[in-house]
Chain A
Amino acid sequence: MRRALTLLVALCLSLWPALGVAQERYAVAVFHFNLQYVAGGMMGFSFLPNDALDLDNDAVEDLIVTESFAPVIDLYEKHPSWGVDIELQGYFLDVLAARHPAVLAKLRKLAKSGQIDVVSFHYSDQLFVAYPAEDWRRSQALTKASFAKHDVPLSRTVFCQEGQAGEAMAARMAELGYRNMVWPKNLWSFQHGDQPAEPLYQFGDVFLIQGGKGASYQQGSLDLGLSWTFMDDGELLATGDLNPYLPDAFKHKPAAVKEYEDGLLSLETQGYQIVTVDQYVDAVKDRVPHAKVPPLFDGTWQPNSTTGVLRWLGGKGIWQGERDNEVRSLGALAHRELVAAETAAKVAGLDARAELDSAWRLLALGQVTDASGINPFRGEAEYGIAHCTEALRIARGVIRRAKAEAGLASVNIDPALGSMTSGSAPELRGDAVAALFEPDADAGDRQVTTAWESLGPGHFRLELGIGAGTATKIVVRFPGELEDELVLTRALADDALAKYRRSDFTFESFQLALPVGLVSLGKGRFLIKDQARVHLAAKITRDSGDVEMRDETLADGESDTWVFHVVEGSAEDALAIAHGVNVTRRLSR
């Protein structure tokens, strides 16, 4: 990004209109820092033990702070007239407070002066677009508490880990006092083509700008220009584009910072104001049109190189030891158990608030994106598994105590009703029936079996048994009927159906995380992932009604079982069942 800075500035200057027009030029930057860049640390990354590489979690985190984060903060401290957005997870502040208090003090000072906007929407850099909204709500509350505890002002701007973005974030942002969404330009252009960006968009009740894409606006005597000087992993700037997976080379390179600094000084000389996103929005919001945002699917910031969210939900990276379906389905299982534990504790009058809060924190950490993508090694997958199993243990312990408190041996916990009653209701199972359709499976040398059950009118359970074999790539296509309308739900809005028209988009195919598991197959038929059994991306296309899911990370020799629910009925019926399966599962314990 910064290498293109000089060229970008020259280009912008050449486009300036004639003298006599008031020219305003703004330069913004979002530094996206992720303390969980190598979740769990480098221990075991190399095939053979290597003291130089086998750094534990804290050592890698410390490198991120000292080699990449602190130099960026120092740069802005040196130039009090410059503004910038620093995005990080709430957990980052906790680590700064514990091990780098001087860096935290400097960050706090610059944040309070208004020079640095510290941006945070989640406590852990978790894959929130793939889970029910409650997991993010708990995480955001933790972030808010962390900012308050460490006396750092929380910015009104939002950018997220891996550039995760979704339409329903607009409402959640407005509810919580956020104001400015930074939507990654590639997640936009992947869906609608590469069109010029508008200077400002209306995004529900908040504003939006396209992250990483400049914009201009001329009207009468007004001539506005927006340029980006950085929009990338913050770790890369001060280290000369190296990342923490190379800990022996991941070092602060003053020349790299100087190069960026010189670029900004040049911009300043040319009349640019180097500002935060919030300052830019304040400057233009009353003087430019608020452009309409087209329909946008949830996703991540580099859909071309990561095949959308597939890379975190079934797609294989470059290292051995990746286990996407195990990691993600375990996160879903822990979600259900925690939701049930909340209900059980409340019904029993059990004060388990501290325990449950600690488990929600562990779940947020366990749902970290890096546990299943982009290129996780075994240690990162096991970081996700370790945190989720501990959250699961705590949740089950709370349920046991709640049962004891209530004097009940076996209970049905229904989070949707807020009830815990004596008994043991049957699981979501039914009688065997003939196949509604046959999924098309490509599993190499593995045998794939299907079993259908009826659970009531229009409600079916489909179990796909994937036998042991050596093939690590399993691809299953569910036949659908092509309709222009596609029905699903969006991240952070579990209760609302979202209807899109395929013809509104330019892509050939798109990968969906499906946070409550629901996607339409056309003609009144819906597919629902049972996310604790299968949590993979769903590929939809413009020219077919089929839905495809794949797991490229099933270990050699291991088998798996994928469970789906199929609904024939209304979208509302399907949503209610998806809720019952994935959001507020009724559990017998």
Chain B
Amino acid sequence: MRRWLLLASLGAVLACEDSEAPSPETESFELDVDIRENAQVRVEKRGESLEVRLTISRGFGVAEDGATLRGSGRLERFPEADVTLYTAKLSAPAVSAGPCGSEPVSLALALHRRGTAKRVSGSLTPYCGKDVWSGVPARNPLRLSTTIPKPE
């Protein structure tokens, strides 16, 4: 079973001391995708803004196998439930053999964490078209889950 890899605060460690902009806090982890496949995700956090890079082993017709997708998002907090949600909007070019045919694919990332749990889990949901972030998905949301420690 694939397991986690954390490179917490790597960006901060390597940051130039006299840079004005604060260096992003980073997390890298590996997710299981529909149990059998996997994805590597790197998240850069600046406050609650996220920059996300996701590399997926298999594209399931909504991305190329092995594709690396990039996008931005937010860290959403639900304090009344002690839940956090990592979100991002990722874009992929068309996969002609997939359900979207010649259309590009918009892939919404949503990963939740309960309290201080090491584990996060959630979804990568594909929608047909450019910058389409709701509607009936092109296929079932891909199921993501892993076990990761929180940053120090």
Contact = CB atoms under 8 A, between A and B. Distances in A.
Interface of A: 40-41, 43-44, 49, 54, 56-58, 326, 329-330, 333, 337, 354-355, 358-359, 361-362, 378-379, 382-383, 385-387, 389-390, 392-394, 396-397, 400, 427-428, 532-533, 555, 558-561, 585, 587-588
Contacts of A361: 136
Interface stretch (B15-23, B63-71, B106-114): B106-114
A386 B139 CA distance: 12
Contacts of A355: 133-134
26 contacts: A49-B36, A57-B139, A355-B133, A355-B134, A361-B136, A378-B35, A382-B144, A382-B145, A385-B123, A385-B143, A386-B142, A386-B143, A389-B110, A390-B108, A390-B110, A390-B122, A390-B123, A390-B137, A392-B85, A393-B87, A397-B87, A533-B82, A558-B119, A559-B115, A561-B115, A585-B80
Contacts of A379: 34-35, 143
B96 interface: no
Nearest to B35: A44
A397 B85 CA distance: 12
A561 B139 CA distance: 34
B82 A389 contact: no
Nearest to A397: B133
A394 B140 CA distance: 16
B87 A358 contact: no
Contacts of B35: 43-44, 378-379, 382
Interface in B28-59: 34-36
B145 A532 contact: no
Given A43-B34, A354-B134, A393-B110, A387 B119 contact: no
Interface string B121-134: 11101000000011
Given A390-B123, A396-B87, 13 more contacts: A43-B35, A49-B36, A57-B140, A58-B139, A333-B78, A355-B134, A378-B35, A382-B144, A386-B122, A389-B141, A390-B110, A393-B76, A558-B117
Given A43-B34, A382-B143, A396-B87, A387 B134 contact: no
A427 B83 CA distance: 14
Nearest to A429: B80
Given A382-B143, A392-B110, A358 B136 contact: yes
A533 B81 contact: yes
A563 to B, nearest CB: 9
Contacts of B144: 382, 386
Nearest to B81: A532
A493 B87 CA distance: 34
A359 B34 contact: no
A552 to B, nearest CB: 18
A362 B112 CA distance: 16
Contacts of A358: 134-136
A290 to B, nearest CB: 43
A390 B125 contact: yes
Contacts of A337: 78
Contacts of B81: 329, 333, 532-533
Q: 6 closest Cβ contacts across the A-B interface? A: A44-B35, A386-B123, A382-B143, A389-B122, A393-B110, A389-B110
A383 B116 CA distance: 23
Task: Tell me if A's interface is mostly helix, strand, loop or mixed.
Answer: helix
Nearest to B88: A393
Nearest to A393: B110
A578 B36 CA distance: 41
Contacts of A555: 119
B80 A532 contact: yes
Interface string B61-104: 00000000000001010111111010100000000000000000
B71 to A, nearest CB: 13
Contacts of B121: 382, 385-386, 389
Contact of B76 (A44, A354, A383, A396): A396
Nearest to B112: A389
A66 B82 CA distance: 44
A428 B79 CA distance: 11
Nearest to B76: A396
Contacts of A396: 76, 85, 87
A392 B141 CA distance: 13
Contacts of A393: 76, 85, 87, 108, 110
A188 to B, nearest CB: 36
Contacts of B116: 559
A355 to B, nearest CB: 4
B133 A394 contact: yes
B76 A394 contact: no
Given A326-B114, A389-B122, A393-B85, A44 B133 contact: no
A36 B83 CA distance: 27
A35 to B, nearest CB: 12
Given A389-B112, A389-B123, A561-B115, A333 B83 contact: yes
Contacts of A49: 36
Contacts of A559: 115-117
A326 B83 CA distance: 11
A392 B36 contact: no
Contacts of A387: 123, 141
A400 B74 CA distance: 11
A506 B129 CA distance: 58
A188 B108 CA distance: 45
B82 A561 contact: yes
Contacts of A561: 82, 115
A378 B146 CA distance: 12
Given A389-B112, A390-B108, A359 B134 contact: yes
Name the residue in B76, B80, B112 with the highest tally of chain A Cβ atoms < 10 Å from its Cβ: B80
Contact of B122 (A385, A427, A587): A385
Nearest to B127: A358
Contacts of B83: 330, 333, 532
A394 B145 CA distance: 20
B128 to A, nearest CB: 13
A111 to B, nearest CB: 24
Nearest to B145: A382
Name the residue in A57, A396, A560 with the highest tally of chain B Cβ atoms < 10 Å from its Cβ: A396
